[in-house]
Structure 1
Amino acid sequence: MANFPVISLEKINGDERGQVMEQIKDACENWGFFELVNHGIAPEFMDKVERLTKEHYRKCMEQRFNEMVASKGLEAVQSEIDDLDWESTFFLRHRPVSNIAEIPELDEEYRSVMREFAAKLEALAEELLDLLCENLGLEKGYLKRAFDGSNGPTFGTKVSNYPPCPKPDLIKGLRAHTDAGGIILLFQDDKVSGLQLLKDGAWVDVPPMRHSIVINIGDQLEVITNGRYKSVMHRVIAQTDGTRMSLASFYNPGADAVIYPAPALVGEESREELYPRFVFEDYMKLYAGVKFQAKEPRFEAFKNVDTASNVGQIATA
């Protein structure tokens, strides 16, 4: 845990910019995860997001979760459960079209706060993508344009709570997987832990830190960087005490965006194009059925698919 990369973004525009950029580069190349502090989102605002999220869970979702547990007899299981996650979730879509107004149980304060939070996270995601471009030697804006498709990127937040679990050795909070999309921004509970990533064959805790945003690389960035950055298997371990809050916001390509290795990153150091070209929506359809399996077969599945008719270079203007 002591070595997990924690990066302060407040010095990105000062004399220590080079050092911060090197920290980001190392984290992307060697971890696939890092934790951002001093990222520009006010701590008081994050406290409000956390308070309202936890209140919404207690008021609207906790009883339903307990009823589900009782109906399935999960408190008495004697063997490992491999087809269910110990989590209570709902999903907010921000782009291309928001669904926040359509979620029936959200009160108006929570709706307003989550709209504002999404706008702040979207701006942070785009700032980070440009920092990745700089480290990769890509022109500014390349990754955002690669994600745009015809209607801009897809952006949404999975709001999750992981209640206390009586059998955490038998039921995962969330089974191991890599994220299908682009760049993920996570605001997690700072008191109840549980998130782990797989590094060098061992599970490593992602430390809960107050007011931090955890960043991780999705499958699409692995493809676009031609394997320079890799998505990493991660999971949530359920805990016996405390309910863990998790707000994971996914800045992903648009549904019709064509994803392929950046030409500038192919051919260097004799690296060939290591990944196939595909339409993001097609990748997501495949991912939906194999999320908790290894990612490599997903990439292989597209290597023999002819997407040439849909593939064009992304706009550079």
Structure 2
Amino acid sequence: MAVSPESGRERPVDFRAPPPSPVASGRRSCVTNDDVLTEFLESSLRVPDLVLPDKIFPKQKFIENPSSVHFDSLGAPGSDSASRMLDSIARVGCFQLVNHGIGCEFSNSAMAAAAGIFLVPPEKRAAAMRSPEKPYGFEEVHGGEEDESSELAEEFMWCREKGLESAMKRIWPLGYSHFSDKMAELQSHVEKIAERVMTVLREKCLDESASGNNGLKGEGCAGASIGTVCCILKHSKNVLDDDQWASSLRYDVIRMLIRGADYSHALCLHMCDGASEFHVYSKKGWVSFCPDKHSLIITVGDQFQALSAGRYKHVVGRPIVKSETEDRISMAFLYSPPAHAPASNDVECGGGRNTFSVGQQVMVAIALSLAYHLFVYILNKF
């Protein structure tokens, strides 16, 4: 402690840190081989030139048309329709069904009624817009008329759902009932076709599994919670040049690949008469072909992939319609087979068979015994 000569009192010693050393203004390193060090740092810190592929988007591959199967041949004795369908599914992911019984006049009438949905003004569509809670209604359209990535089609998801019906009757009161009746009748025909196709394919899968050719399993497919869903597309008139068309198509492909698993289904039946091309998207790539006239194109979904133990892969199908004169309508029905009805002697409840407990059996035995003694007493009395 230091003593102040004026006051005679002690005061603490000042331990303030010394001022910082002056910083040299030069940037020269003190290393002797400065040039060598600089060259080493420049070479080691340089970001390597990455050679990326010119095109990361999958290329479109045109193929021959997949197999065409007559509806009447499904399940017929000696028919090879099941084998041809599965072979085409393994190669392309789809097949064509002809002579299916849905007349052109009837299908055109349903599509004309469906076209009225897209006349609903955009400001009214908000009440029936698709969402995670409501997987039906209008699909939100991204991009404007001047945006090269705008979608090629407007989309509406229809099903027999009370929520959709009430919402659409509020915003389209004059036309929705007529449209819904037409769609319900068309869906009934489509489901009968899909049920027959699914039965033939399931039996073929079971036969292949029994023969030991592959690991197919015969479990049934779980039905969708809201039943069959129909995706209605309005294909706009082609007013884009080649570059804009290619850009829009790429955007549409990416969106379809992302949206492909939205609805669990076994089969998807596409009604797209008048389509110039049909595209099939999968993990293998992107293929396209020109569909036969008046044919149903059937693609397989995730439920069929599970049924086949992964041998037949889930794909996404999309019709491409190029029309310079008018808008066109196409439909895709996403079908899930209903749960198998239990046999009459195998009534199930809550996933297990109904049985009587020991206590219930004892009560029944006592009741029968009392009834027997009462009957004997009455018989002897009278």
Question: Which TM-score band (shorter chain)?
Answer: 0.5 to 0.7
Deviations 1:84-125 (A, max 9, x none): 633212221137x68446523234332211111111112222
1:164 corresponds in structure 2 to 237
Distance apart, 1:40 and its partner CA: 2.6
Tell me which residue corresponds to 2:86: 25
Residues matched between the structures, number: 241
Aligned to 2:154: 88
What is the rounded CA distance, in whole Å, between the counterparts of 1:146 and 1:199 in structure 2? 21
**2:333 aligned with 1:249:** yes
The unaligned stretches of length 5 or more in structure 2 are: 1-62, 126-140, 210-216, 340-350, 353-382
Q: Secondary structure in 2 aligned to 1:181?
A: coil
* CA gap 1:7/1:159 in 2 versus in 1, 3 angstroms: same
CA distance in 2, matches of 1:228, 1:148: 20
Name 1:74's counterpart in structure 2: 144
Q: Deviations over 1:113-139 (max 9, x none)?
A: 111111111222221211111110169
Aligned mates of 2:192, 2:219 — CA distance in 1: 11
- How has the CA–CA distance of structure 1 residues 85 and 182 changed in structure 2, closer, same or farther, with 3 Å as cutoff? farther
SS, match of residue 41 in structure 1: coil
* Residues 271, 297 of structure 2: 8 Å contact kept: yes
Q: Could you state the TM-score of these two structures normalised by the residue count of structure 2? A: 0.53
In 2, are the aligned partners of 1:222 and 1:230 still within 8 Å (CA)?
yes
Q: Secondary structure at the match of 1:154?
A: coil
1:155 correspondence with 2:228? yes
Partner of 2:375: none
* Kept after mapping to 2: 8 A contact 1:129/1:143: no
TM-score, length-normalised on structure 1? 0.62
> 1:128 aligned to 2:212?
no
Query: Which amino acid in the other structure matches residue 313 of structure 2?
Result: K
Alpha-carbon distance in structure 1 between the residues aligned to 2:278 and 2:295: 14
Opposite residue 146 of structure 1, the aligned amino acid is: C
Is residue 207 of structure 1 aligned with residue 290 of structure 2? yes
1:59: Cα distance to partner?
4.0
Q: Is the 8 A contact 2:93 2:280 kept in 1?
A: no
> For the residues of structure 1 that align with 2:280 and 2:152, how far apart are their CA atoms?
18
Deviation at 1:10? 1.7
CA distance in 2, matches of 1:20, 1:126: 15
Alignment of 1:280-291 (within 5 A): none
Superposition RMSD on alpha carbons, in Å? 3.9
- Distance in 1, Cα, partners of 2:113 & 2:220: 34
CA deviation vs aligned residue, 1:259-310 (integer Å, no higher than 9, x gap): xxxxxxxxxxxxxxxxxxxxxxxxxxxxxxxxxxxxxxxxxxxxxxxxxxxx
Change (3 A) 1:63 1:236: farther
Say if 1:10 and 1:40, in contact at 8 Å, map to a contact too: no
Question: 1:18 aligns to what SS in structure 2?
Answer: coil
Work out the CA distance in 2 between the residues paired with 1:14 and 1:182.
22
Percent identity over the alignment is 20
